[in-house]
Amino acid sequence: MQNTVKQSVHFTGVGLHSGAPVRMTIQPASADYGIWFRRTDILIGDAMIPARWDAVEQTALCTRIVNAAGVSLSTIEHIMAALAGTGVHNALIEIDGPEVPILDGSAAEFVRAILEAGLVAQHAKVRALQILKPITVRRGEAQATLTPADGLQIDFHINFEDEAIGVQDKSLAMSNGTFVRELCDSRTFCRKADVDAMHANGLALGGSLENAVVVDGEEVLSPGGLRHDDEAVRHKMLDALGDLYLAGAPILGRYTGIRAGHALTNELLCALFATPGAFRVVECDAVTAARLPGVGVHLAEMPAVA
């Protein structure tokens, strides 16, 4: 069955790039509604933006979507990951600014609030995209691939010069609450030199040591250090789940990311939908639905740090 939130879920915080305060509310929605955002600060014209792969505007630092009227919303990847990872298929997300609040830099606060509010099962079957043949996109040394699999599997490889990150690999089947237990509390990360450069150019003004893992060589500058030894690759997997949910339905397939980012994952979805015979839409029976990321998730599975 499809799910929506049982009641409205509220968040307040600041935008990562602007540093401006923002309020956001997840509202229940009817079956087959999908995920939509509404900019409540836009009073004239179309304020509705679909959470969909073909609404993505390419950016290097986050995932931004834009509607036909040019109204955009940035940094949606963490809330999209939270919705995918808790099994929310239908929701209207109202927000009074151009960026989703960064909160602690992970998806944990979104996940906790959704699970505390609870979900409502709807009388409509979940439809998923079943990958039928391999699709790969590349940019330099970066690569993203989708291949057939019974459920959603995410494999990721990263390689950074900073010793605090270095080379990290991780592979997880995303069924049975794996996202909530293993990934949702992993924060975005960056190098101190990059933070300084962004601040100098008026970017990431809402970023701080409290909402990102900041590294400088072998040193982790954020208070309390890492939540996981491999927090960086876990966060990349979190981002990938959120970006893949822009397909408009859960994916049954294996995603492999090698130094991949937001833009490359979206390019992969574009290639998927442009390739005849690469996928089919299936109605999930009980066995297939049980393999989806949000099925059987409980609040008690939240990491203690979150």
Query: Which residues participate in catalysis according to the annotation?
Result: 262
Residue whose structure tokens are 């979940």: 126
In angstroms, rounded to a whole number, what is the distance separating the alpha carbons of residues 74 and 63? 6
Instruction: Name the DSSP letter for residue 278.
Output: S
User: Which DSSP string corresponds to 61-99?
Assistant: SS-EEE-TTS-EEB--HHHHHHHHHHT--BEEEEESSSB
Q: Edge-to-edge strand order for the sheet containing 64-66?
A: 56-57, 64-66, 72-73
In angstroms, rounded to a whole number, what is the distance separating the alpha carbons of residues 127 and 249? 6
Q: Are 199 and 205 in contact (CB under 8 A)?
A: yes
**What is the greatest pairwise CA distance in the chain?**
52
At residue 32, what are phi and psi to the nearest 5 degrees? 65, 15
In angstroms, rounded to a whole number, what is the distance separating the alpha carbons of residues 21 and 13? 6
Count of positions (residues) in the chain: 306
Kindly report the number of other CB atoms within 10 A of residue 235's CB atom. Answer: 27
Instruction: Name the DSSP letter for residue 45.
Output: S
User: Which DSSP string corresponds to 202-216?
Assistant: T--TT--TTSSEEEE
Kindly report the number of other CB atoms within 10 A of residue 1's CB atom. Answer: 16
Amino acid at 69: A
Instruction: Name the CA dihedral angle for 186, 188, 189, 193, rounded to a multiple of 10 degrees.
Output: -160
